Each structure stands twice: as C-alpha cells, then as structure tokens.
Chains A and B, each alone.
Chain A
C-alpha cells in the first residue's frame, strides 16, 4: 500500500469549475506539501501545511491531521491550471519527502 494516496488520478473540468483534489497518508508527518508539475516536468511548490488552511489566489489547501487527509481546491479553474498536482508528506522521523502519484488535471475552455 502506498503511504500517500491521491484521488482522483485524472480529472477534467470546464473552465470556471471548482476543483478538489484529495490526499490521504498513512505515516506520521511533520508537514504536507502540494506541488504542481507542468508538462515540461518542472516542479513548483504551491503550499506547505502542518495544520489548518492556507490560501494563495485561487488555490486553497486544507489539512486534517487527525484524519490524515488534505485537500487542494482550485476556484474558478482556468486552462492554465492544467498540470499534475502532487501531494508529498515530510516523514515525522526524517526530513525526506514521500510523494503521491499525482493527479492529472485538464481544464478545457
């Protein structure tokens, strides 16, 4: 079983739709990251969370430590949001990141 599970694996949306991507993890963590990977391969860090909620523009990330679950929301989605969104957790006992398999999002005009 993967230590970090994401759902859905693939997601298509029409421009303007509200998007939710989910992440569940099974290990003790000190932080959770949401990352964005564009088709060229580069990875951009969107959020690092250890509790509660963070917002940046149209992106919102929440985490529930008790339930070991995090969500990434995109409001008013746009075609430029099309990318792979990756959840990664920092293991409690080490500094390494454990990655989910990613959610491929396509937003159509």
Chain B
C-alpha cells in the first residue's frame, strides 16, 4: 500500500542552523500539509499546499519557515534559523482530493540544541 515517507527520521541541529525536512507524498496526491507536535502537546497545523502554492498557513508558520515542492515527488519544509522552541516532531501529510482523508508520514523528530 502506498505511504507517505519522511527523511530524516531524527535530526539534531544547533540553534541558528538551517534545517530541511523532506517528505515524499503518495504519488497521485495533490494536497500536502505540514504539522508539528511539541513533546507532550497536541498536534498543530503549520501549512497546507496545493497547486504549487501555499493555500493556508498558521501563526506558527512565520518568515523562518518555507515550503517547496521542488520536483514532482518531494515536499520540503525549511526552517531558516532554528530556535530551541522548534524542537518537535514534524509530520507531513497528503491527500488525493479535497474530500478524502489525509495520510500521515512517520514524522521527523527535530531536536534543536
């Protein structure tokens, strides 16, 4: 069964460094999302992406964050200058149409030191 994949599974970085989290959505999916979950807290929406542009973003998704779909398969989340509070699990999700359920990737655990 097709699945969403994410790399890396874990990343440790120094405060102020740039990180890129990568996702490969399911191949015929058109809607893409990033979520984050700080340890012990609920999952929070970051951004949605459709038709090669951001369709919605949350207050968390400030100028330090950006998303890209550089080719037909990858969907990336870049954090330009990481802060300690960016430490979290980051989930990518995708869906085929607006009405269908989202499929989540396994997550990338980011630790900022």
Do the beta carbons of B42 and A100 come within 8 Å of each other? yes
A88 within 8 A of B: yes
Given A33-B101, A45-B102, residue A96 in contact with residue B58 (CB < 8 A): yes
Do the beta carbons of B43 and A99 come within 8 Å of each other? yes
Minimal Cβ-Cβ distance residue in A for B37: A41
- Residues of A near B41 (CB, < 8 A) are 101
Q: Which chain A residues in 4-58 approach chain B with CB under 8 Å? A: 33, 35, 40-45, 48
Among candidates B42, B45, B107, residue contacting A101 with C-beta atoms closer than 8 Å: B42
Q: Chain B's nearest CB lies how many Å from the CB of A100?
A: 7
Chain A interface mostly = strand
Do the beta carbons of A44 and B56 come within 8 Å of each other? no
How many pairs of A and B residues are in contact by the CB < 8 Å rule?
Answer: 51
Among candidates A42, A44, A96, residue contacting B48 with C-beta atoms closer than 8 Å: A96
User: Which residues of B pack against A, CB within 8 Å?
Assistant: 31, 33, 35, 37, 41-45, 48, 55-56, 58, 89, 91, 98, 100-104, 106-107, 109
Given A86-B43, A88-B43, A98-B45, residue A41 in contact with residue B107 (CB < 8 A): yes
The 4 nearest A-B residue pairs measured at CB: A43-B104, A48-B101, A99-B43, A96-B45
Among candidates B45, B55, B100, residue contacting A97 with C-beta atoms closer than 8 Å: B45
Number of interface residues of A (CB under 8 A): 20
Q: How many Å lie between the Cα of A43 and that of B42 in the bound state?
A: 12
Given A95-B31, A98-B45, residue A45 in contact with residue B101 (CB < 8 A): yes
Q: Which chain A residues in 83-105 approach chain B with CB under 8 Å? A: 86, 88, 94-102
- Residues of B near A86 (CB, < 8 A) are 42-43
Can you name 26 A-B pairs with beta carbons within 8 Å?
A33-B101, A33-B102, A40-B106, A41-B37, A41-B107, A41-B109, A43-B91, A43-B104, A45-B103, A45-B104, A48-B100, A48-B101, A86-B43, A88-B43, A94-B56, A95-B48, A95-B55, A96-B33, A96-B58, A97-B43, A97-B102, A98-B45, A99-B44, A100-B42, A101-B42, A102-B42
